[in-house]
Amino acid sequence: MRKSGPPRGLISYIVLELLEEKPRYGYEILKEITDISGGHWEPSYGSVYPILYKFEDEGYAERIEREDEPDRKYFALTDEGRDHLTEKRREVGGKARDFADVILGFYHMYVAFATDERFDVDPSDDDWHFDGEYSGWIAEQVIRHHERDFGEFERIGDTPEEFHARQGDADAPEGDTGENADASEDGDDNRSEEAAADGGTNA
């Protein structure tokens, strides 16, 4: 169970990967991370620039000059930085559960604000609300992205215990109660109809 926030070291890992691709400047890195997240997450300047300066101090990145953009601070990955990136890839590769905890944790809170009688939040002034319709839309988006990158989505009938046992996990992540894990595929037709009505676009 995570105490707070995204997995530690995530931003520094992404910065390394983006610098390994090509030299970049800070704002460019911020925009690229925003694009990768589908526009849902943008780290602050106060998180990215200190990482770049730290990498420079540690010899993982070096500042380079570009004649066409003399006023921008471009950074390029060094050989030491590539070695460090290899280590970070192994480190981040072991954080899949941390990512799942963040995703599932916030989704559980979203549903709680919509259904738990202890919470009585005021309706939002924008287009979003804590309710079943928007909860379904979030789930729909996850399914669409899954199908875009992994192929047709198939419902998993396992309980959390069964799924993690089948995967060889030591135990299920805390909070993965799976109260609706035994749901059948009855919702597939409704999901398809909604996708068709929306034109199949991704939010």
In this prediction, residue 171 carries a pLDDT of 60
> pTM to 2 decimals?
0.74
Per residue in 24-37, pLDDT (tens digit) is 999 999 999 999 98
| Amino acid sitting at position 15 | V
Q: 């604000």: which residue's tokens?
A: 113
State the average pLDDT over residues 36-65: 91
* Confidence check: pLDDT of 190 > 70: no
Q: How many residues does the chain have?
A: 203
User: Under 8 Å CB-to-CB from 164, ≥6 apart: which residues?
Assistant: 170, 171, 172, 176
Please report, in angstroms and rounded to a whole number, the separation of the first and last CA atoms in the chain: 29
> To 10 degrees, the CA torsion angle through 173, 178, 182, 188?
-100
- Going along the chain from its start, the domains and CATH numbers come out as 10-93 (1.10.10.10), 96-197 (no CATH)
**DSSP letter assigned to residue 75:** E
* Cα distance between residue 47 and residue 88, in whole Å: 18
Region of poorest pLDDT, from 122-131, 163-172, 175-184: 175-184
Position 114, amino acid: A
